[in-house]
Structure 1
Amino acid sequence: MLSAVRSARRYLGYFRSISSSAMDKGYQQANVVVLPNQLADDFEAFCRSNPAPLPLLYRSQSGETSCPPLAKQADIRTDVSQYCVYEEGRLVKTVSSLQSYNDQPSAASGQQAVPLGPWSDMVCFYLGCSFGFEGKLKKAGVPVRNVEQGRNISMYRTAVHCFPAGKFSCPLVVTMRPIPAAMLDVVVEITHLNPLAHGAPVHIGDPAFLGIQDLSRPDYGDQVELQPGDVPVFWACGVTAIEAILSSRPPLAFSHSPGCMFLTDIPDTPAPLTPPSDNMEPQSAKPNPEQTPVCFQVSQNPLLYSLASQAAVSKIRQLETIIGEDPGQRGIEALFVQDELLLSCLSLSHASSIAIVTGFPTHYMHSPPDETDGPPGAIAIATMLLALGKKVTMLTDKRAVEMNQALIDEAVSTGVLKTTIPLVTYEDSGPDSALHFLCHHGDPSKPRYDHLLAIERSGRAADGNYYNMRAINIKHLVDPIDDLFIAAKDIPGISTTGIGDGGNELGMGKVKEKVKDLMPKGSLIACDVPADFAITAGVSNWGGYAVACGLYLLHTCPSHQRYMKKGLGLHRVIPQEQLQDWTANLPSVDKVTDIKHFSHLSCQDFSAFSLSS
Structure 2
Amino acid sequence: MQAAARLSVCRRICLSAMSSGYQQANVVILPNHLANDFEAFCRLNPAPLPLLYRSQSGETSCLPLAKHADIRTDISQYCVYEDGRLVETVCSLQSFSRVGSELQGRGSWSDMVCFYLGCSFGFEGRLKEAGVPVRNVEQGTNVSMYRTSVPCAPAGAFSCPLVVTMRPVPADMLDAAVEVTHLNPLAHGAPVHIGDPALLGIHHLSRPDYGDGAELRPGDVSVFWACGVTGIEAILSSKPSLAFSHSPGCMFLTDIPDCSPPPAPPPPPDGARRPSTGPDGELTPLCFLISHNPLWYSLASKSAVTRIRQLEAIIGEDPGQRGISALFVQDELLRSCLALSHASSVAITTGFPTHYDHSPPDETDGPPGAIAMATMLLSLGKQVTMVTDRRAVDMNRSILDEAVRKGVLKAAIPLVTFEDSGPDSALRFLCHHGDPSKPRYDHLVAIERSGRAADGNYYNMRGVNIKHLVDPVDDLFTAAQEIPGITTTGIGDGGNELGMGKLKEKVEALMPNGSLIACDVSADYAVTAGVSNWGGYAVACGLHLLHTCSSHQRYLKKGLGHTTLQEQIQDWTANLPSVDKEEAVLSTLVSFGIRSGKTGHLAMEVDGLTFHPTHSDIITRLLEVTLGSTNHRPG
Q: Which bin holds the TM-score, normalised by the shorter protein?
A: over 0.9
Shift of the 284–585 alpha-carbon distance from structure 1 to 2, 3 Å rule, reads: closer
Moved more, 117-126 or 334-343: 117-126
Matches within 5 A, 1:558-573: 558-571=550-563
Tell me which amino acid in the other structure corresponds to 1:58.
Y
Is contact 1:13-1:96 (8 Å) kept? no
SS in 1 for 2:624: coil
Pairing of 1:344-355 with structure 2 (within 5 A): 344-355=336-347
5+ unaligned residues in a row in structure 2: which ranges? 591-603, 626-635
Indicate the percent of aligned positions where both proteins have the same amino acid: 75
Give the SS at the match of 1:76: coil
Q: Which residue of 1 aligns with 2:473?
A: 481
Change (3 A) 1:586 1:117: closer
Contact persistence 2:446–2:489 (CA under 8 A): yes
Residue number in structure 2 paired with 1:86: 81
Which of the numbers 253, 268, 273 marks the counterpart of 2:258? 268
User: Structure 2 matches for 1:343-382, cutoff 5 A?
Assistant: 343-382=335-374
Counterparts of 2:280 and 2:74, CA distance in 1: 36
Alignment pair present for 1:15 and 2:14: yes
| Structure 2 counterpart of 1:43, from 38, 45, 50 | 38
Alpha-carbon distance, 1:2 to partner: 5.8
* 2:256 counterpart SS class: strand
| CA contact 1:427–1:479 (8 Å) conserved in 2 | yes
Shift of 1:416: 1.5
Distance 1:300 1:283, change over 3 A: closer
Partner residue, 1:30: 25
User: Matched residues in 1 for 2:324 and 2:573: separation?
Assistant: 30
Q: Does 1:412 align with 2:424?
A: no
* Counterpart for residue 98 of structure 2: 103
Please give the residue correspondences for 1:126-525 in structure 2 after superposition, counting only pairs within 5 Å.
Answer: 126-269=116-259, 271=261, 274-277=264-267, 286-525=278-517
Using the TM superposition, give the Cα deviation of residue 605 of structure 1 relative to its aligned residue in structure 2, in angstroms.
Answer: 2.1
Q: Which residue of structure 2 aligns with residue 534 of structure 1?
A: 526
Q: Distance in 2 between matches of 1:283 and 1:82?
A: 34
Task: Give the number of aligned pairs.
Answer: 595
**Contact 2:489–2:499 under 8 Å retained in 1:** yes
**CA 1:5/1:177 → structure 2, altered by over 3 Å: closer, same or farther?**
farther
Q: Tell me the distance in 2 between the aligned counterparts of 1:68 and 1:3.
A: 12
- Distance (whole Å) between structure 1 residues aligned to residue 578 and residue 276 of structure 2: 42
For structure 1, which runs of at least 5 residues remain unmatched after alignment? 107-115
Structure 2 contact 79–247 (Cα < 8 Å) conserved: yes
In the alignment, is the contact (CA less than 8 A) between 1:188 and 1:295 conserved in 2?
A: yes
2:616 corresponds to 1:606: yes
CA contact (8 A) 1:271 1:286 kept: no
Structure 2 Cα separation of the partners of residues 273 and 576 of structure 1: 29
Aligned residue type for 2:617:
S
Partners of 1:607 and 1:117 lie apart in 2 by 71
Q: CA deviation at 1:284?
A: 12
Q: Using a 3 Å threshold, how does the CA distance of structure 1 residues 417 and 283 change in structure 2: closer, same or farther?
A: closer
| 1:48-127 to 2 correspondences below 5 Å | 48-105=43-100, 118-127=108-117
**Cα distance in 2 between the residues matched to 1:590 and 1:274:** 47
Q: Within 1, Cα distance between the matches of 2:413 and 2:460?
A: 29
* SS across alignment from 1:479: coil
Cα deviation, 1:253-285, whole Å, max 9, x if unaligned, reads 100000000011122347566422399xx9998
**Alpha-carbon distance in structure 2 between the residues aligned to 1:446 and 1:400:** 29
After superposition, the Cα gap between the structure-2 partners of 1:278 and 1:315, relative to the gap in structure 1 and judged at 3 Å, is closer
Q: CA deviation at 1:7?
A: 2.1
Once the two structures are TM-superposed, the CA of residue 13 in structure 1 deviates from its matched residue by 4.8
Shift in Å, 1:143: 1.0
> Matched residues in 2 for 1:129 and 1:73: separation?
20
Tell me how large the CA RMSD over aligned residues is: 1.8
TM-score (norm 1): 0.94
Q: Deviations over 1:555-595 (max 9, x none)?
A: 00000000000000121xx2111111000000011112223
CA distance in 1, matches of 2:95, 2:20: 33
Q: By how many angstroms is 1:337 displaced?
A: 0.1
1:546 equivalent in structure 2: 538
For residue 578 of structure 1, the aligned residue among 559, 568, 572 is 568
Of 186-195 and 32-41, more deviation after overlay is shown by: 32-41
Amino acid at match of 2:139: Q
Q: Give the AA of the match of 2:545.
A: L
Residue 9 of structure 1 and its aligned partner are, at CA, apart by 4.7
Q: TM-score, normalised by structure 2?
A: 0.91
1:158 match: secondary structure: strand
1: CA distance, partners of 2:5 / 2:343: 49
Deviation at 1:606, TM superposition (A): 3.4
Shift of 1:227: 1.1
Which residue identity is paired with 2:538?
A: A
Q: Which amino acid aligns with 2:588?
A: H
The one-letter code sitting in structure 2 at the alignment partner of 1:232 is S
SS at match of 1:608: helix
Asked if the contact 1:273–1:285 (Cα under 8 Å) also holds between the matched residues in 2, the reply is no
392 and 270 in structure 1: CA distance in 2 versus 1, 3 angstrom threshold: farther
Determine if contact 1:34/1:253 at 8 Å carries over to the other structure. yes
In structure 2, relative to structure 1, the CA distance for the partners of 1:202 and 1:328 (3 Å cut) is: same
Give the whole-Å Cα distance in 1 for the aligned partners of 2:277 and 2:291.
35
Give how far 1:119 is off.
Answer: 1.2
Partner of 1:597 in structure 2?
588
Deviations 1:213-240 (A, max 9, x none): 1111111111111111111110100000
Amino acid at match of 2:430: L
- Displacement of 1:286 in angstroms is 4.4
CA contact (8 A) 1:592 1:598 kept: no
Do the aligned partners of residues 271 and 76 (structure 1) sit closer, same or farther apart at CA in structure 2, a change above 3 Å counting?
A: closer
Task: Find the aligned partners of 1:520 and 1:402 in 2 and give their Cα distance.
Answer: 34
Cα distance in 2 for residues equivalent to 1:100 and 1:594: 76
Counterpart position of 1:111: none
